[in-house]
A and B are shown apart, each in its own frame.
Chain A
Amino acid sequence: MATEENNSGTKADMITTTVADDFSERIAAERTRSRIVELGPLLVMLALIVAMSVFVRGFFTWNNLAALLQQIATPLVLSMGLTFVLLIGSIDLSLEGVMGFAGSIVALLVLNTKNQLDLGVVGILIAITAGTLFGILSGVLHTRLKIPSFMVTFGMGSAITGFGILSYRGIPASVNDPMFAHIAAGAFLGMPLLTWFALVVFFIALSIERYTAFGRHLFAIGENESMVRATGINVDTIKVIVFAWAAFCSSVAGVFGAIKLNIGQVIISNGFLFSTITAVVVGGTSLVGGSGGVVQSLVGVIIVTMIQDGMILLGVNAYVQPAVQGMIVIAAVSLTVARGRKLVFK
């Protein structure tokens, strides 16, 4: 009746080795993949630098490198905020809204063409605080009402853009404050002041990520939220802080925008949401959370900025450039995302 099987004991021993080996192969494959995702963007960046220096005329010139440093400031600040949000597996679509809002009101608070206010640095702090409050609100709505983050921030972004336009009643304020002009033109050790500020934000983000329990918890939440909850960590509070941090970064970027353009209106943020998501994802931060980090995002920002710069230098049609960016983000995601046949994508 039964197939030949006189000693199930020896057979079982054999199996334990075979399936276990298969299993450890899977673990090893997972490890290899994670290393590729970690190192890949860095190699891409180096390859791009070499390729562009060789093939793109005018890339490796002092003027162009200075321009690159200047360009990197805003996306770097924005990506620091978004990185934390993506690490916990959420998304922040209100980035442009908050940035435009903060840029609009900071222009109304410092010396400007629309009113008598001249608050200077205090005005900048107020604008950043106001923007950050919207982040807290998004975080609270997301955690308390259990609305998906993309929906909360989507709606919030639209609402904040509205507030931004309302603040200047349709006609934006131009900035007269000499401080703005000084910062915009200023440089230290050859690097633009705004880029220094962006680097400060980067190092703050890096210290939070590397040296605080909060930073480590971001990764843990992204990987397995329910397990983190079971450990007794207050996940909701962490999430609110993450959205506040993201809004803080967006607000700083908004102030950057007002400084650069000398005007405060919501459209200064146009296009930054997409390029920031692209940069963070290209850097290797996973859209589902749990892996990546701010150093990766720095690399991603450099890659994306270089590509934009390269396309301009090569004279690529301005309307084609967003299409190229779109391709890049899809390619980056398709290389990093885990695929399971049984996963349902919506």
Chain B
Amino acid sequence: MEDVLFRTRKTGKQYPGTVALKDIDLEVRRGEIVGLVGENGAGKSTLLRIISCVEQPTSGSMEMHGRQFRGKNLLEANLMGVGMVFQEQSLMKKLSVAQNIFLGREKSFGTLTFINWRKMNVAASKVLESLGLKDILPARKVIELDFAARQMVEIAKVLNLVGDRQEGCLILLDEPTSVLNEIEIKKLFEKMKLIRDQGNSIIFVSHRLSEVIEISDRIYVFKDGQQTALVERKNANEDILYEKMVGRSTSGEYFKVDRQTDPGEEIILEARNLALKGYFKNVSFRVRRGEVLGICGVVGSGKEEVCAVLCGDDRPDGGQIFVNSIERHFADPAAALKAGVLSVPKERREEGIIGILSVAENISLSSMKAISRHNVISYRERSNRAKEWIAKLNIKTSGPKEHTETLSGGNAQKVVFARAISGGENKILILNHPTRGVDVGAKEEIYLLIREITERGIGIVLLGDTLDETISLSSRLIVMKDGLVLAELEAPKDNKPSQVDVVRYMM
């Protein structure tokens, strides 16, 4: 029998309205590296948060060293031997390496008030040496180190926090390789093996399948909050993992695929070699009249940042944007709006609507000119327009005067859409997760709406909530990975690419 360090039993996490994780039976043996792969939203991050006690499971149980494992916060998880290395590093830049390693545990290095830094530095170099990190000086400030070295310090810190025991500990690594170069990744893997060979275990989450296959002893595949496969390294190859990762494709009828428009010839939006330092580069694409261009990629692929650049939230470091063949520089979202590019943002409650304003006010927010006469708002005009849109989009509200914050997610989203398309002059719509947090019925209505919008000749750039959704709604797809466009795929209504076709380029 294998020596099991940590296991979950039927662990699940339910949020109001959604199931994030269901019946997870994960087993981590002593001295192994377990890979965790899956699309965004598959539940990997949720599981890591539960194992590190940042969140509590709503069902099932966990065990560490054969004993019940349950904690209220990260600190308690640390005490039980589980540590998490955060993707966004948790080190304090202005403190020294040693001070970071022993943050909150300074007591053992001094009298009541004054700390013996030399003693702490000696202890820190021991910690660093146990990972073979002799070239990192404990007295240096973290800000003086490069990213890879910081990551090593973070790992050493976490290991020191939870390790120091004979029975082994568990380290969680969340996307540790995403901004490392090849040499740094190789080094990281060496350290991971070292940690493993010292009798500890690691859960490694990454969207780069080749890396997961290279370093993991066993790989769990997640999909839609459930584990779909457990693959031993010797049996693992990327194709098997792709297959297990993607979901079933929903019928075309649900996405109204038969109403997908055949895009016109006229190019209304073009990006040439767009770049944002550290996020993406060389991104080029064209959007034609009445077309839905889907951008696929995992979180961190740069697709969100492309979106932000397109709608004027971020200024690109390079490349050009053309709207109707005229080059544009968007200083801010208002400039983008003026050029005819409007976005429906992801964080609807925060960026899309103003909750304390009425439905009518929200709808007219981007088209003040149209409802004003001599720069004075006509309340009647505004109310009439609002009523018109409420009827057209079937928004369930008590009337144009209702506060938008009281609407359900789907209806609030429809208000955002009404605002976006009621301007009239808008030619391009950037849809960032338009169906996130929206119930099934409202989703279908939004799909219908997207079809109607494109029939009117508006072009759409879409970041879908699921791969299935993006493929089904789009007539063309670009796939991004690590900041570059890896593929451009046609998606005509009668010949949609499969999810595996797309995932292949994403991971």
Contact = CB atoms under 8 A, between A and B. Distances in A.
Contacts of A214: 113
B106 interface: yes
Contacts of A23: 147, 179, 278
A256 to B, nearest CB: 26
Nearest to A231: B104
A263 B74 CA distance: 55
A223 B92 contact: yes
B95 interface: yes
Interface in A1-55: 1-3, 5, 8-9, 11-13, 15-28, 30-31, 34
Interface stretch (B181-189, B319-327, B335-343, B369-377): B181-189
Contacts of A15: 481-484
Contacts of A230: 73-75
B486 interface: yes
A1 B103 CA distance: 54
Nearest to A31: B143
Interface in B153-209: 177, 179-182, 184-185, 208
B314 interface: yes
Nearest to A28: B146
B115 interface: yes
Contacts of B92: 219-220, 223-224, 227, 290
B114 interface: yes
A16 B504 contact: no
Contacts of B146: 24, 27-28
B487 interface: yes
Contacts of B75: 230-232
Contacts of A19: 179, 278-281, 482-484
B481 A2 contact: no
A228 B313 CA distance: 31
A27 to B, nearest CB: 5
Interface string A161-179: 0000000000000000000
Nearest to B208: A12
Contacts of A18: 281, 483-484
B278 A22 contact: yes
A223 B281 CA distance: 30
Contact of A24 (B147, B182, B315, B483): B147
Residue in A8, A13, A211 with the greatest tally of chain B CB atoms within 10 Å: A8
B388 interface: no
A107 to B, nearest CB: 34
A16 B486 CA distance: 13
Contacts of B185: 16
B488 interface: yes
B134 interface: no
A291 interface: yes
A220 B181 contact: no
Contacts of B107: 213
A25 B278 contact: yes
A233 B103 contact: yes
Interface string A247-264: 000000000000000000
A301 to B, nearest CB: 21
Contacts of B110: 213
Contacts of B490: 1
A5 B486 contact: yes
Interface in A182-224: 207, 211-214, 216-217, 219-220, 223-224
A223 B486 contact: no
A: interface residue count bin: 35 or more
Contact of A31 (B114, B144, B182, B482): B144
A228 B74 CA distance: 11
Contact of B103 (A25, A231, A341, A342): A231
A2 B482 CA distance: 18
B253 to A, nearest CB: 24
B487 A2 contact: yes
Nearest to A2: B487
Contacts of A8: 486, 504-505
A17 B182 contact: yes
A295 to B, nearest CB: 13
A113 to B, nearest CB: 42
Given A223-B93, A230-B73, A233-B104, A1 B486 contact: no
Interface string A265-309: 000000000000000000000000011000000000000000000
B94 interface: yes
A66 B504 CA distance: 75
Contacts of A291: 94
A220 B114 CA distance: 17
Contacts of A219: 92, 94-95
Contacts of B181: 16-17, 20-21, 24
Given A213-B115, A223-B92, A9 B210 contact: yes
Given A2-B488, A23-B147, A228 B103 contact: yes
Nearest to A212: B113
Contacts of A26: 277-278
A326 B352 CA distance: 37
B489 interface: yes
A84 B175 CA distance: 36
A20 B184 contact: yes
Interface string B405-430: 00000000000000000000000000
A220 B278 contact: no
Contacts of B144: 31
Contacts of B487: 2-3, 5
A16 B180 contact: yes
20 contacts: A1-B497, A2-B487, A2-B501, A8-B486, A12-B208, A12-B210, A17-B182, A19-B482, A23-B179, A24-B146, A26-B277, A213-B115, A216-B115, A219-B92, A219-B95, A220-B103, A223-B92, A228-B104, A231-B75, A290-B93
Interface of A: 1-3, 5, 8-9, 11-13, 15-28, 30-31, 34, 207, 211-214, 216-217, 219-220, 223-224, 227-228, 230-233, 290-291, 341-342
Nearest 8 Cβ contacts at the A-B interface: A213-B106, A231-B104, A20-B181, A23-B179, A19-B483, A22-B278, A15-B482, A23-B278
Given A15-B481, A290-B92, 17 more contacts: A5-B505, A12-B210, A16-B180, A17-B182, A18-B484, A19-B482, A20-B180, A20-B184, A23-B179, A23-B278, A26-B278, A28-B146, A34-B93, A213-B106, A220-B92, A228-B103, A230-B75
